[in-house]
C-alpha cells in the first residue's frame, strides 16, 4: 500500500523520531519504498507550527546517525546475548541485556565497586619439598584446622614459620 502511494506522490516526507533509530527507520523506508523524491523532516511536537517549521527545514537522511544505529544494533546482538547470562546470574533473576549500554554499565559498575571494596590480606602457606633419590615431590600443609573463626587463610606468620621449620613428617594419606 505504501509503495503504491509513494509511487504516485510528488514528494514523500519521512517524519520519524528525531534520533538514530528514527533516522534508520527513515533510511529503511526510503530503501524499501525505492524513493527518489523524498525529504527527511523531524519535529519534537505535533503542532501546526512545529510541522510547518520542519517542512521548511526538510533535509536528507543523516547517514552518520543511520550508521550509529546499525552499530548499536550489532553491539546489542553480539554483546547483549553474551551479557544476558551473567546479568541474570548477578541479578538473581532472568534478565535480557537487550540494550547493551545499561546492563554493561551495571556489570562494569558492580565490578568497580568490588575492586574498590577489596581489602588486601596477607596470608601464609607452607609447602614441604621432598627430594629423595627417587624423585622430587611436594606436599602442601593443610592449614584449615588451624584457622580462627571467619578466616579463610592462615594469617599468623610466626605460626607458619614455626611449621616451616619442621623436618620430620608422617604420611597420613596418599592420593595418586
> What is the model's pLDDT at position 44?
86
What residue ranges define each of the domains in the chain, with the CATH number in brackets? 2-61 (3.40.50.140), 70-117 (no CATH), 127-164 (no CATH)
> What is the model's pLDDT at position 28?
96
How far apart CA 130 and CA 136 sit, in angstroms, is 6
> What is the model's pLDDT at position 43?
84
> What is the model's pLDDT at position 58?
94
Q: Kindly list the averaged pLDDT for each block of 10 residues, start to end, along the chain of length 176.
A: 91 92 95 94 91 94 94 78 76 70 74 92 86 79 84 86 86 80
How far apart CA 108 and CA 105 sit, in angstroms, is 5
> What is the model's pLDDT at position 99?
62
- Cα torsion angle, 142, 148, 153, 154, sign: negative
Amino acid at each position: 500500500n505504501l509503495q503504491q502511494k509513494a509511487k504516485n506522490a510528488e514528494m514523500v516526507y519521512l517524519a520519524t523520531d528525531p534520533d538514530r533509530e528514527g533516522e534508520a527507520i527513515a533510511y529503511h523506508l526510503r530503501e524499501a519504498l525505492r524513493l527518489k523524491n523524498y525529504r527527511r523532516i523531524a519535529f519534537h511536537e505535533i503542532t501546526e507550527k512545529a510541522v510547518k517549521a520542519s517542512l521548511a527545514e526538510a533535509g536528507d537522511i543523516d547517514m552518520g546517525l543511520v550508521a550509529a544505529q546499525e552499530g548499536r544494533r550489532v553491539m546489542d546482538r553480539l554483546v547483549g546475548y553474551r551479557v544476558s547470562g551473567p546479568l541474570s546470574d548477578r541479578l538473581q533473576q532472568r534478565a535480557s541485556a537487550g540494550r547493551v549500554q545499561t546492563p554493561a554499565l551495571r556489570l562494569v559498575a558492580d565490578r568497580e565497586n568490588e575492586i574498590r571494596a577489596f581489602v588486601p590480606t596477607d596470608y601464609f602457606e607452607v609447602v614441604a619439598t621432598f627430594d629423595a633419590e627417587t624423585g622430587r615431590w611436594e606436599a602442601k600443609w593443610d592449614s584449615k584446622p588451624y584457622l580462627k573463626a571467619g578466616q579463610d587463610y592462615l594469617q599468623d606468620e610466626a605460626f607458619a614459620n614455626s611449621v616451616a621449620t619442621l623436618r620430620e613428617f608422617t604420611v597420613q594419606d596418599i592420593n595418586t
